[in-house]
């Protein structure tokens, strides 16, 4: 067994993709982290089959996207067919505003393996296999975690331990929602017998199905199981061959990786935080597979929670910052559950009259250009937009404010590099980005120094024509990165917004935005909502130190759930 230390900043229960992503985020911030997993190895069969642009952006932020991309199928088209294999709708979003394709097939075991390998970079991150968390008890200043023969102390514990989460049970929170009575059988095949790169969903009233190209010659089929068919029957090879026969020339010759029966769950935890215990991924929410968002929602959890945990543990922010995790993630996770559940209901009717009405409605919508684009470009997918949390909205609220949304990621030039993604210029922390101004000048010395102490990157975005221009009496500022708008995407974004100064969080959410003249006031407001406190004098030239409030000052209750 792995030899464990006595104390860790964070213990993560579960070495699935969410736990491993969170561990990489914490590792990059120097947080002493232990990942415990009761299995002996990673799960070696596919589960999730679709990555979105937000997940790839998160993998980019932890420096692993280059290793992950070979296990993906970018720009995957998804087509919906009726019972006669006639096209009902198609999803083929070309938009890559966040730097990556919106739809990507992927082989989860291979991607998870890269997330695990990424932890080898950190001496302060440890993974313990074959270790079960038996219990955890909160104290005034930490968590005592019972790991069988070992007991360790942690400042925080995060349960990434799946739908049957032991951490959630320890927290005593509910898991509200429903479990569908309808069963499905999933069949994963090697040496893809179809071979084409895309996926389809069949809204066939006789038997709804899905056929999904993953990558590396793997294809997934999923079929609804009728009430009079048993689980044992669904797992019989002869039954499987009958299911595959309409799609595969020789169903008896397929190479099966996995075949199992499952049901769809639509559930969300009553709280994502209870003091020093937190939940992420399937432990916090479960959703049907139809939008491929279970995996991606978990990665969003890790991206949202990771930088906040690091800021608190590293003494840059108060424990109260962690309350914003539930406040921000709950609404979006709920929206994804609702969307996935709704799509499942649209696909699954076995009543022919109901299916015929559905088909007519979908075909009618497809002849309306705006509605067709709405489906084709996946505009129905809820995007994260935070109304509360670690953000500062203008007062009075503006319906056009970009605050609480993700900032775009175009390709840009700097004076040293050409054709790079914006996040690679910004780096892993906060960023203050200005259009047509020097951040130092608009922030003022005090706010500039405070953001610098927090490790922020300062970006002056300009038209490409001005990339290498400097005023004769103003030499280049060593603390400011000049970015040339290589594609015009940055100017187009600012064309649509009155705000010209943005504060971008490590998870690429816009924490605050305003006109240039109000940049100092914006900074002061953000330091409040980020629960960052200043220690020291008011001299702008003196060092500025940010320290966390003692954890005991926070009740640990989640806003809106206490």
CATH number of residue 481's parent domain: 3.40.30.10
Q: Are residues 25 and 115 in the same domain?
A: yes
User: Is the overall model pTM greater than 0.75, yes or no?
Assistant: yes
Show the domain range for 502: 411-529
529 is in an annotated binding site: no
244 is in an annotated binding site: no
32 is in an annotated binding site: yes
Q: Which pLDDT value is given to residue 379?
A: 52
30 is in an annotated binding site: yes
As averages over each run of 10 residues, the pLDDT of the chain (562 residues) reads 88 98 98 97 85 96 97 91 87 86 92 98 97 94 94 98 95 92 91 92 90 92 93 92 95 93 92 98 88 86 98 95 97 86 78 80 70 50 83 86 97 97 96 96 96 96 94 83 97 96 98 97 96 54 36 33 29
Q: Are residues 46 and 138 in the same domain?
A: yes
Which residue among 329, 349, 369 closes a domain?
A: 349
545 is in an annotated binding site: no
Q: Which pLDDT value is given to residue 367?
A: 65
Q: Are residues 144 and 286 in the same domain?
A: yes
**Residue 313 lies inside a defined structural domain of this protein:** yes
89 is in an annotated binding site: no
**Residue 401 lies inside a defined structural domain of this protein:** no
Beta strands in 436-557 (DSSP E): 457-463, 480-485, 501-504, 510-514, 533-535, 545-547
274 is in an annotated binding site: yes
Chain position carrying tokens 């056009």: 400
Q: Which pLDDT value is given to residue 187?
A: 94
Using CB atoms within 10 A of its CB, is residue 378 exposed (0-12), middle (13-18) or buried (19+)?
middle
12 is in an annotated binding site: yes
Q: Which pLDDT value is given to residue 561?
A: 31
**Residue 278 lies inside a defined structural domain of this protein:** yes
Q: Which pLDDT value is given to residue 284?
A: 97
33 is in an annotated binding site: yes
Q: Cβ distance 19 to 12 under 8 Å?
A: yes
34 is in an annotated binding site: yes
**Residue 525 lies inside a defined structural domain of this protein:** yes
Number of domains in the chain: 2
Q: Are residues 488 and 340 in the same domain?
A: no
Q: Are residues 170 and 295 in the same domain?
A: yes
205 is in an annotated binding site: no
Which is nearest to 148 in space by CA: 134, 137, 163?
A: 134
20 is in an annotated binding site: yes
**Residue 140 lies inside a defined structural domain of this protein:** yes
Q: Are residues 313 and 415 in the same domain?
A: no
Q: Are residues 146 and 60 in the same domain?
A: yes
Q: Are residues 152 and 42 in the same domain?
A: yes
Q: Are residues 345 and 426 in the same domain?
A: no
29 is in an annotated binding site: yes
Q: Which pLDDT value is given to residue 99?
A: 96
Q: Are residues 339 and 474 in the same domain?
A: no
Which residue among 306, 327, 349 closes a domain?
A: 349
28 is in an annotated binding site: yes
**Residue 495 lies inside a defined structural domain of this protein:** yes
496 is in an annotated binding site: no
**Residue 551 lies inside a defined structural domain of this protein:** no
18 is in an annotated binding site: yes
CA distance 387 to 398: 11
Using CB atoms within 10 A of its CB, is residue 534 exposed (0-12), middle (13-18) or buried (19+)?
middle
Which is nearest to 146 in space by CA: 157, 155, 134?
A: 134
CA distance 441 to 434: 10
Provide the Cα torsion 184, 188, 192, 193; round to 10°: -50
Q: Which pLDDT value is given to residue 337?
A: 87
Q: Are residues 324 and 460 in the same domain?
A: no
Q: Helix (H, G, I), strand (E, B), or coil: what is residue 287?
A: coil
Q: Cβ distance 35 to 23 under 8 Å?
A: yes
Q: Are residues 165 and 33 in the same domain?
A: yes
Q: Which pLDDT value is given to residue 551?
A: 34
540 is in an annotated binding site: no
86 is in an annotated binding site: no
CATH of the domain at 305: 3.50.50.60
**Residue 261 lies inside a defined structural domain of this protein:** no
Which residue among 349, 366, 385 closes a domain?
A: 349
276 is in an annotated binding site: yes
Q: Which pLDDT value is given to residue 370?
A: 63
Dihedral-angle region of residue 213 (phi above 0 means left; psi in -120 to 50 means alpha; beta otherwise):
beta
């Amino acid at each position: 067994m792995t030899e464990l230390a006595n104390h860790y900043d964070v213990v993560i229960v579960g070495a699935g993709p969410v736990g491993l992503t969170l561990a990489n985020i914490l590792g990059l911030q120097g947080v002493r982290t232990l990942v415990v997993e009761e299995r002996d190895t990673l799960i070696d069969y596919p589960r999730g089959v679709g990555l979105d642009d937000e997940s790839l952006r998160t993998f980019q932020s932890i420096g692993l996207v280059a290793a992950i991309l070979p296990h993906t199928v970018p720009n995957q088209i998804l087509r919906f067919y009726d019972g006669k294999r006639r096209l009902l709708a198609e999803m083929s979003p070309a938009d890559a505003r966040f730097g990556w394709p919106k739809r990507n097939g992927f082989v989860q075991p291979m991607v998870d393996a890269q997330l695990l390998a990424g932890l080898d970079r950190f001496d302060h991150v440890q993974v313990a296999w074959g270790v079960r968390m038996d219990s955890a008890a909160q104290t005034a200043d930490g968590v005592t975690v019972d790991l069988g023969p070992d007991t360790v102390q942690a400042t925080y514990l995060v349960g990434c331990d799946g739908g049957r989460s032991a951490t959630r049970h320890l927290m005593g929170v509910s898991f509200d929602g429903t479990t569908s009575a309808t069963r499905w059988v999933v069949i994963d095949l090697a040496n893809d017998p179809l071979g084409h790169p895309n996926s389809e969903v069949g809204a066939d009233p006789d038997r709804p199905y899905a056929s999904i190209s993953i990558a590396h010659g793997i294809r997934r089929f999923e079929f609804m199981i009728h009430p009079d068919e048993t689980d044992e029957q669904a797992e019989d090879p002869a039954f499987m061959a009958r299911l595959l026969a309409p799609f595969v020339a020789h169903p008896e010759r397929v190479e099966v990786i996995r075949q199992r029966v499952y049901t769809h769950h639509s559930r969300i935890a009553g709280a994502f935080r209870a003091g020093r215990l937190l939940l992420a991924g399937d432990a916090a929410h479960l959703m049907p597979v139809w939008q491929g968002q279970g995996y991606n929602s978990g990665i969003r959890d890790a991206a949202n929670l990771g930088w906040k945990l690091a800021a608190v543990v590293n003494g840059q922010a108060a424990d109260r910052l962690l309350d914003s995790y539930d406040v921000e993630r709950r609404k979006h996770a709920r929206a994804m559950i609702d969307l996935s559940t709704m799509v499942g209901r649209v696909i699954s009717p076995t009543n022919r009259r109901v299916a015929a009405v559905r088909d007519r409605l979908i075909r009618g919508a497809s002849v309306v250009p705006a509605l067709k684009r709405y489906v084709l470009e996946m505009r129905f997918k809820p995007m994260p937009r935070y109304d509360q949390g670690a953000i500062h909205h203008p007062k009075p609220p503006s319906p056009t404010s970009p605050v609480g949304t993700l900032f775009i990621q175009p390709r840009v030039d700097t004076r040293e590099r050409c054709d790079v993604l914006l996040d690679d210029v910004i780096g892993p922390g906060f960023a203050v980005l200005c259009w047509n101004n020097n951040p130092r000048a608009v922030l003022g010395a005090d706010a500039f120094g405070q953001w610098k102490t927090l490790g922020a990157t300062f970006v002056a975005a300009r038209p490409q024509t001005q990339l290498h221009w400097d005023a004769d009496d103003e030499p280049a500022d060593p603390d400011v990165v000049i970015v040339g708008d290589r594609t015009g995407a940055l100017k187009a974004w600012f064309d649509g917004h009155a705000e010209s100064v943005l504060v971008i969080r490590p998870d690429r959410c816009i924490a605050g935005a305003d006109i240039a003249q109000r940049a100092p006031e914006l900074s002061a407001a953000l330091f409040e909502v980020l629960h960052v406190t200043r220690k020291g004098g008011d001299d702008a030239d003196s060092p500025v130190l940010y320290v966390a409030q003692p954890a005991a000052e926070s009740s640990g209750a989640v806003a809106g759930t206490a």
